Structure 1
Amino acid sequence: MSTAPRLAAPLSKGDRIGVVTVSAPEPAADPAIFDRGIAALAARGFEPVLGTHVSSRAGYRAGTSAELLDDFHSMIADETIAGVVFAGGGKSANRLLSGLDFPLIAAHPKAIVGVSDPSLILNAITAHTGLVTFHGPSVMWDWAQNGPAETAEHFTALLSGRPSAARIDAPLTWTRAGAAEGDLVAGCLSSLRCLLGTPWEPVWDGALLVIEDAFKSTEVLDQALTHFRDCGVLDRIAGLIVGEPVGCEPTAGITVADMVDEVCQDYAWPLAHGLPYGHTPLKVTLPIGASARMDADAEHPLTITSPWTADRKETR
């Protein structure tokens, strides 16, 4: 489904940020880490508001689909909540796709931020509503970990709409140099795979696809990327950027980068590796659904070229 871009208002210090869990019960498993992440988000100037089931546990999920959807939709409908951040990750966020209230989300555009498994929810929302969503730091893995200051700084700059945040200077390694521009589709490869063939599949035509993954072997990621190829996705995109894999061991001496280059060898679009985003401690925040340009010869190898918030101000 293709729809016109919809932009949320930029975030400001003092804004109330809803925190919900949509997959694994990570806050319940590590409450001290979760509390530390909430404190870090507050120290950045925001007011965290916790979902009812954010720290619940129901087996390998944080709650039933109805409970988790109610938490999320309540944050979306609450006019005092400026944005929503997913607490962590997991492997079951796709259980919520059939229950997402897309008209409600479209009627209340706000910043929605997540990483890993919830990246499939971000891309489904963008595909169905046109709302630009944000692939960025989670409470458990980023705000709680006292990681590189640049991670929080880019999140704050991008979500507040600063034009300077559009210029991303990551030292990419180019397998195929060149330039391409398109709307960003960004997420964890194995999670995005859950959208193939579903009503929530992203718009691939002319997209810049940005992928990453963690704690999987090269062989397993080969299977996933080959599935994208065989579904025709790689025939439709304009360019591919691969993030830094985390804990992804080589298989028979073949690295993730080697495998990606081989699977993608018959395509002409530009291909680059090494973007710090996703599961890496140092990460940039990416606006899914906004237009961006990748260019091997440019001063900034990745630049966001369209608005990603409803207005953009250099200072907040």
Structure 2
Amino acid sequence: MIKPERLKKGDTVTVIAPASPPSLDSLQKGISYLEEELGLKVKVGDHVYDQYGYLAGEDEARLTDLENAFLDKEVKGIICACGGYGTARLASQINYLIIAQNPKIFWGYSDITFLHTAIFNNTGLVTFHGPMLSSDIGKDDCHPLSRNLFQQLFEPQEMIYTEEYSTLEVLVEGKASGKITGGNLSLITSSIGTPFEIDTKSKILLMEDINEEPRSVDRMLNQLMQAGKLTDAKGIVIGDFHQCHSRRDKSLALEEVINHYIQQAGKPTMKGFQIGHCSPHISIPLGVNAEINTKEKVLMIDSGVE
């Protein structure tokens, strides 16, 4: 495990778009937040404004921005503009030695999940699952807490998630500890069978998603169960499943689907975490030690920076 160096005011960060094209207006507002509120200098990747269908430029362009951001000695952190689609296309082309030799903060979520997993598997670098500039921070209705939690990049601090943040529901009782991994369920599932397959053995697994019907969540959780990913985990954290309701007459409820597989897995599990496509979005580091305790209704996660 490699923790990146913390930020300080005046440091430079780079904004990249490794997935879909960002909304330019909200992207600029997000950049202004980094500069004016956090006191950072911002570089923008050369290809952030490219468009290639549903991608923010062709694969080579997005890959170049990613690797150049890690290679740039002036840059202390990399913030993704938005998610969408396409990061999995880059995974097999990345030179992970560049990342291992130049560890630094890497921040994003949603489609960025595939990069979180690929980077950790190949380098051990701790990365951050948090709201992005165009899709979250630059929106006029962005929750102040979503913005404030960028402070964890400036000072090592343990995240203690209790019901002060949101109401938590215990699905399976118990206490478990291990490194926390995961993110978006769709991207976790799509990693199975690839060289970048998520490793959940003895780990705390985080899952969240958006706009997936219960039948789709069922299919993905069934695949994770049959691949041993749920039973390999020490504990499970259920984040926000935003607008994951059925659009057909006959359906199981999302809660029924999730409960079915969680009960089968039998691992300490809580749901209700405001992590994912929600507001506020509670950002956390991935790859660090964490502990879930259902009796106390608390999730504790180590600091992500040195």
TM bracket, shorter-chain basis: over 0.9
The separation in 1 between residues aligned to 2:244 and 2:34, in whole angstroms, is 29
* CA RMSD, Structure 1 to Structure 2 (Å): 1.5
Partner of 1:159: 153
In structure 2, relative to structure 1, the CA distance for the partners of 1:6 and 1:162 (3 Å cut) is closer
Give the SS at the match of 1:118: helix
Structure 2 gaps of 5+ residues are none
Give 1:266's match in structure 2, choosing from 264, 267, 278. 264
1:227 and 2:223 aligned: yes
The answer on whether the counterparts of 2:172 and 2:263 sit within 8 Å (CA) in structure 1 is no
Give the AA of the match of 1:149.
P
Instruction: Tell me the SS of whatever aligns to 1:265.
Output: helix
Deviations 1:203-224 (A, max 9, x none): 2111100100001111111111
| Equivalent residue in structure 2 for 1:183, among 167, 170, 179 | 179
Q: TM-score, normalized by length of structure 2?
A: 0.93
**Residue by residue, what CA displacement relative to the aligned partner does 1:102-127 show, whole Å, maximum 9, x if unpaired?**
11100001000011001110111011
Q: Aligned equivalents of 1:188 and 1:43: distance in 2?
A: 30
2:27 is the counterpart of 1:34:
yes
Alignment of 1:220-299 (within 5 A): 220-250=216-246, 252=250, 254-298=252-296
Shift of 1:236: 0.5
In the other structure, the counterpart of 2:55 is 61
After superposition, the C-alpha distances for 1:74-103 in whole angstroms (9 at most, x for unaligned) are 110001101001110112210000111111
Q: Determine the structure 1 residue equivalent to 2:90.
A: 96
Asked whether 1:302 is paired with 2:296, we answer no
Structure 1: state its 5+ residue gaps: 311-316
Instruction: Quote the Cα distance in structure 2 between the aligned partners of 1:302 and 1:136.
Output: 17
- The verdict on how the C-alpha distance between 1:20 and 1:296 changes in structure 2, with shifts beyond 3 A counting, is same
Alignment of 1:7 onto 2:8: no
Q: Given the two structures, how large is their TM-score scaled by the length of structure 1?
A: 0.91
State the secondary structure of the residue aligned to 1:48. strand
Give CA deviations for 1:143-194 in whole Å, capped at 9, x if unaligned: 11141111111222x212332x421224311111211101111210001112
Of 193, 209, 227, 2:205 maps to: 209
The DSSP-based 3-state class of the residue aligned with 1:117 is helix
Cα pair 2:172 2:262 within 8 Å, conserved:
no
Q: How far apart are 1:62 and its partner, in Å?
A: 1.1
- AA of the residue aligned to 2:146: T
Q: Look up the SS of the partner of 1:54 in the other structure.
A: coil
Cα deviation, residue 141, structure 1: 1.7
In structure 2, C-alpha distance between the alignment counterparts of 1:155 and 1:292, rounded to whole Å: 19
Task: Tell me how far 1:297 sits from its aligned partner.
Answer: 2.3
CA distance in 2, matches of 1:253, 1:225: 16
1:290 positional shift: 0.3
Q: Please, which of 116, 120, 123 is the counterpart of residue 114 of structure 2?
A: 120
Residue 169 of structure 2 is aligned with which of 161, 173, 187? 173
Aligned residue for 1:313?
none
CA contact (8 A) 1:257 1:273 kept: no
* Alignment partners' CA distance in 2, 1:48 and 1:37: 11
The offset of 1:266, in angstroms, is 2.0
Partners of 2:284 and 2:209 in 1: how far apart? 15
Q: Which amino acid aligns with 2:262?
A: C
Contact in 1 for aligned 2:214/2:251 (Cα 8 Å): no
Taking the aligned partners of 1:13 and 1:93, their CA distance within structure 2 comes to 30
SS in 1 for 2:67: helix
Q: How many residues align?
A: 299
1:48 is aligned to 42
How much has 1:273 moved relative to structure 2? 0.6
1:253 is displaced (CA, Å) by 5.2
Q: Percent identity?
A: 27
- Shift, 1:257, TM fit: 2.4
Could you tell me which amino acid in structure 2 is paired with residue 274 of structure 1? G
